[in-house]
Chains A and B, each alone.
Chain A
């Protein structure tokens, strides 16, 4: 199975829809421990990215994601917006010159995104950030692909992201604005990790990849 830009654009379209659907939920999560703008900025960012994808006339997937990072950041310059933009750009670097993606490429792109987010945000696993859902999900995807088809592997990755998100409830924020809440952040899940569950829920949809 190889993914072409057409399918990537379809995924990004669905992702923009799903983030819009979950906007209020993300705002609620973020209002509990942040400044509450996560839902709004992510809605703006993913919708701009989907628009750019629908207007993209080439087939170089890497090139699209490289410029897509900047497109996203322009409308979402918040901290999370910058981290997501970095992830998008790193996927672009990883997929440079590629017109189709194998399952291994997808894993490599997601890993590059996770590493970029870790580097830029200076975060680690356990800091109660998006990484606590993203990293285990990517690891689950890579592991499942050894014995299963892409479809099943993406479902496992989604499930793992949700579990990672749930686990952030018990963690104490060590980074960003949420860290100002210190112990007060315990009991509330991380909104960035919540966003990752939305992304993986779209990747795991039956009719997309």
Chain B
């Protein structure tokens, strides 16, 4: 293993302390739980959005704590769920009586700990709702979509629910927007090479020099098929077919596109992928309203990328356009930098 770490056991705490030290104006690390919250929280009357999950996916999850996004995050070890106490601590530090939305990816360990946190908050009369992100088309068939895993589509759920909460929407409204966003989001990924969990020290799976795995999850979960590596355009077309057919999307639809690198894929390659997506959508008469290309939900140094499409309507477009700012993500408002925050 070749990594810039100290004692691998301290990997999570040390990188979180680094993030907190770098961005004290935006984030606050809680004293007795490994959870980060917005420096300006709690905000009076605002629904607090709390997320969380294992480490190894930066900018997911903690990178989306900020203005117009989430209010707090509970941080687990690499690929491990955070504990319920961390979730409770993040919720208590950010809620202001307007309720708490738990918004996170669908993984059994996380579900258990967030459910338990909800039960604990209920004892102190803090109302919470949970919305699970289930966007990975490869992880379960269409008619079972609520069993799917959450991957890069988390970003859109944070962005839109976050905008609704920032606009002082009620807990009902923020949860409704989160649910609507999840139902309109589809992702699929492809992996070329594994990652190494620091505490384990060896690759999470093996894959041949000329092989790719279509549909692999962000922890190396088995995908749909493994086969010979094909040119970027062909791989992109295969993922896009699966995603578009899953909706389905007709001519005239408007979408937001997210091309996400899994950790060690160069931006150049991500833009080669975006080029093909733009062509394919253009051919089908589907309009790209906004696009995002970069690293949003990684898997340490895994090689590969994922594509996420969000089908938009007027409400979702307006929320997508709202300004947002965190140490890892900045989007100016409709008026550009000057009109934004």
Contact = CB atoms under 8 A, between A and B. Distances in A.
Contacts of B82: 77
Interface string B90-132: 0000000000000000001100110110011001000000000
B119 A82 contact: no
Interface of B: 76, 81-85, 88, 108-109, 112-113, 115-116, 119-120, 123
A77 B85 CA distance: 9
Contacts of A122: 108
Contact of A77 (B113, B115, B119, B120): B113
B123 A79 contact: no
A66 to B, nearest CB: 7
B112 to A, nearest CB: 5
Contacts of A86: 112, 116, 119
B108 A176 contact: yes
B206 to A, nearest CB: 17
Interface in A68-89: 69-70, 73-74, 77, 79, 82-83, 85-86, 89
15 contacts: A66-B123, A70-B85, A70-B88, A70-B120, A73-B84, A73-B85, A73-B116, A77-B81, A77-B82, A77-B84, A79-B108, A82-B83, A82-B112, A82-B113, A85-B84
A103 interface: no
Contact of A74 (B76, B85, B108, B115): B85
A74 B33 CA distance: 9
B85 A83 contact: no
B83 A74 contact: yes
A122 B109 CA distance: 12
B188 to A, nearest CB: 23
Contacts of A89: 116, 119-120
A121 interface: yes
B116 A82 contact: yes
Given A73-B83, A73-B116, A82-B113, 12 more contacts: A69-B120, A70-B84, A70-B120, A73-B113, A74-B83, A77-B113, A79-B109, A79-B112, A82-B84, A82-B112, A82-B116, A121-B112
A120 interface: yes
A89 B140 CA distance: 33
Contacts of A120: 112, 115-116
Contact of B83 (A77, A83, A121, A176): A77
Contacts of A85: 84, 116
A122 B113 CA distance: 13
B13 to A, nearest CB: 14
Interface of B is mostly: helix
Contacts of B76: 77
A73 B109 CA distance: 13
Interface in A148-206: 176
A86 B120 CA distance: 10
B112 A83 contact: yes
A77 B108 CA distance: 13
Contacts of A176: 108
A119 to B, nearest CB: 8
Interface in A30-84: 66, 69-70, 73-74, 77, 79, 82-83
A70 B117 CA distance: 9
Contacts of B115: 120
Contacts of A77: 76, 81-85, 113
A63 to B, nearest CB: 10
A121 B113 CA distance: 10
Nearest to B113: A82
A40 B106 CA distance: 27
Contacts of A82: 83-84, 109, 112-113, 116
A51 B186 CA distance: 48
Most chain A C-beta atoms within 10 Å of own C-beta, residue among B82, B83, B108, B109: B83
A83 B111 CA distance: 12
Q: In the complex, which of the residues B82, B84, B108, B109 has the most CB atoms of chain A within 10 Å of its own CB atom? A: B84
Contacts of B120: 69-70, 89
A100 B83 CA distance: 31
Contacts of B123: 66
Contacts of B88: 70
Nearest to B83: A77
4 cross-chain pairs, A with B, having the tightest CB-CB distances, nearest first: A77-B83, A74-B85, A82-B112, A73-B84
Nearest to A73: B84
B82 to A, nearest CB: 7
A66 B119 CA distance: 10
Nearest to A119: B115
A34 B339 CA distance: 54
